[in-house]
Amino acid sequence: MDETIAVKVLAALAQGMRLRIFRALVGAGPQGLTPGVLAATLDVSASTLSFHLKELMHAGLVTQQRDGRHLIYRPALQHMNELLAYLVAHCCGGEPCEAVPADRCIDC
């Protein structure tokens, strides 16, 4: 992943509703969710949901598949994993590192 793509993906997630949609899809896993279930779960109108799903798809974070008369939206976890790898590529100067729990962090 390069910087331009990382910025595009992070920008897509830097909006509350899109972040909630993506998290709901991640929670659903590979089976995905229909727009109706997403709208009901997030208490959002169909038109608002459609707008935000389009933005997430444009950023490569969500895929869409037709299943008969239904659309199924799924998280693009490989793309998200690529973003995470890009963000931590130079973590700890190349040395293995562990996340320190916030309550034990001295410099945080």
- Going from N- to C-terminal start, the domains of the chain cover 3-104
pLDDT of 93 reads 74
Taking CA atoms, 37 is separated from 30, 34, 93, 101, 107, in Å, by 15, 5, 44, 35, 43
Tens of pLDDT along 36-55? 999 999 999 999 999 999 99
Angstrom distance (rounded) from CA 16 to CA 2: 24
The CATH label, of 2.40.50.100, 1.10.10.10, 1.10.260.40, 2.20.25.90, for the domain at 3-104 is 1.10.10.10
Tens of pLDDT along 67-101? 899 999 999 999 999 999 998 887 777 676 676 66
Q: Which amino acid is at 105?
A: C
pLDDT of 95 reads 72
pLDDT of 99 reads 65
